[in-house]
Structure 1
């Protein structure tokens, strides 16, 4: 048997507030036209003037929206730093509404969801693990989305490796992602340890032993080297028994 290895408060928010109070979009648009002085442009000059005015308004709105997204991201990282993963996850979800193609935000979602899976306890005593599983699948989809956007994103590749090996117990799925991460960051000791564990869990003992040898040759830490040597011995013992 195997053994264990060792704030903007302005036009945007005002518009939201007005809408929530029952003011129609037509009323807001009419008010905007009055403010800009371009209620009913007809001549070429009036039309050009109206376009210029509204282009500026659109640019201002885009700038405001962009800043809101950035602030949500910053707030999320602040929560993450203090290990408030639930609040951080909410912030990154909001930030994605403004930056839907930002690989870093998806990575952070993956991290938060992974941690939140550990808090998904069965308080009702029903025996259900559905909530925990849902968080883990959210983490998986977030990491996968991140590497779809940036295929050489090592942190997301590593995140997938950890998720598959230690949480979802699907080490075979982890191997290609960790191998790719190590072609990009060749001296990433954390990724080496997880990949060695994935090989071991997948009964690829020779590859696991070779990976521990690589760790031993790469690290300058006596403690890390000792851990790799101990783990290699466990792998060789397992290989002998099989």
Structure 2
């Protein structure tokens, strides 16, 4: 019988991962593929929470660069994550996986408010919980949301699923053929080498709360399950090696 290495995890998905080859919006085949991978993990008895970015619809920093007020642009990005979260919820529930969306911004018609104890109760009952609308505050990324929620719900690991790379590299592997893939890193190395795995706020939060991070490719079917079962794929980042 397959024994998962973790009991409770947070899956961090970039918005771009939902867009597939089209690069914008939501690709139904992609989101169904991810939902099926999540279902496989839930079937192992693992409690799964998800944080989804919104970059496939709107990026706050990009909007700010075009002259939109930064706080306004970030709130627009939070609404984009709600759209992605609802799409992911629909895909999961079509596969028979009970799912709840909890939003940091009050919108009671479409999502529950984020309440820590309620989120933990949902997880204990075998429901997937999707945390939408970031932290509810501008100037914070969804990476920081994943780190914050992981600390709050006492998740054992953050699984950062990438759609273009299969781990952390010393440089952009698409631009530099000499880029070296790391198997293990510390958060201090990530910060000192400016590797861009997560923003500095998220990295510091994970480091301070001793939350490991595994960066891997989402494009290969079954990778989420492989990581949960303890297979060594991607790059693991932790407080100390």
Scaled to the shorter chain, the TM-score interval is: under 0.3
TM (normalized to structure 1)?
A: 0.26
Q: Rg bigger for which structure?
A: 1
- When you count helix as a share of all residues, which structure comes out higher? 1
TM-score (norm 2): 0.26
